[in-house]
Amino acid sequence: MSLPLAGKVAVVTGSSRNIGAAIAKRLADDGAHVVVNYNGSKDAADELVQNIEEEGNGKAVAIQGDVSSLEDGRRLIEQAVEHYGRLDILVLNAGLMHNLPLDAITENHFDEHFNINVKVPLFMVKAASKHLQAGGRVFFFSSSTTRFSGVPPSYLVYTATKGAIEQMTRVLAKDLGARGITVNAIGPGPVDTDLFRNGKSEQLISFFANLHPQKRIPQTEEIAPIVAFLSRDEAGWINGQTIFVNGGYSV
């Protein structure tokens, strides 16, 4: 039986670890050829590539690139196409979350978040659009904080970037849709990653876990399947949507 993503080429930003690594692994399991993007975590990226290659379903290559840089973001796209000869799936997973209360927010804090979470992803889509095959897929990452009524005030700037992502998703779905390219956003809740755990006490982590109906924090492997499904040909009528993968966290 043929694999659903056999021969497809996917670029996943920030994919040496955490959610990005789980997505890269899942896409490769479904037959895709994957670009594992890393900035400083070369060893982790190389290990993931080795694991994917040993599985034998897809292929993988690690490409360094700092996706806080427009130049590196564009270069990542060009190197991926140069290596594999095509591009079908772009997963803009990399992001920044450093939460501050209103009186501590600076222009640099604001600019840094909008650069990494909004500006570079947009211009990577622009660079990728000339290479994406008909029926291609673009995935942004939003957050369940855009729907959760109990969002802490310190999430102000981060949540604002994710609101921008959701609106870009809607508009780009119309822009690229004529070529059969879908654009969707994935909105996880808290996920057990380094980014989530950083600076949180076990008591606070337990608090977030208890906000879920299942009273736990999900693993990264529980986010990856929605990206894999939406990458399939049969998911082509799902477009311009933000899909919240949060176990009911924002209900």
- Tell me, what's the pLDDT at 199? 79
Q: Is 165's pLDDT higher than 70?
A: yes
Q: Is 129's pLDDT higher than 70?
A: yes
Q: List, for residues 135-146, the tens digit of each pLDDT value.
A: 999 999 998 888
Q: Is 159's pLDDT higher than 70?
A: yes
Query: Residue-wise over 132-149: b if at least 16 C-beta within 10 A, else e?
Result: beeebbbbbbbbbbbbbe
Q: Is 76's pLDDT higher than 80?
A: yes
Residues assigned a catalytic role: 143, 158, 162
Extended strands (E) in the chain: 9-12, 33-38, 59-64, 87-92, 132-141, 182-188, 242-245
Least confident stretch, 19-23, 42-46, 94-98, 162-166: 94-98
| Report field, pTM of the whole predicted structure over 0.85 | yes
Angle at CA 19, nearest 5°, toward 17 and 107? 90
> What's the CATH superfamily of 9-245?
NAD(P)-binding Rossmann-like Domain (3.40.50.720)
Q: Are 248 and 213 in contact (CB under 8 A)?
A: yes
Q: List, for residues 181-236, the tens digit of each pLDDT value.
A: 999 999 998 899 987 888 789 998 998 898 888 999 999 999 999 999 999 999 99
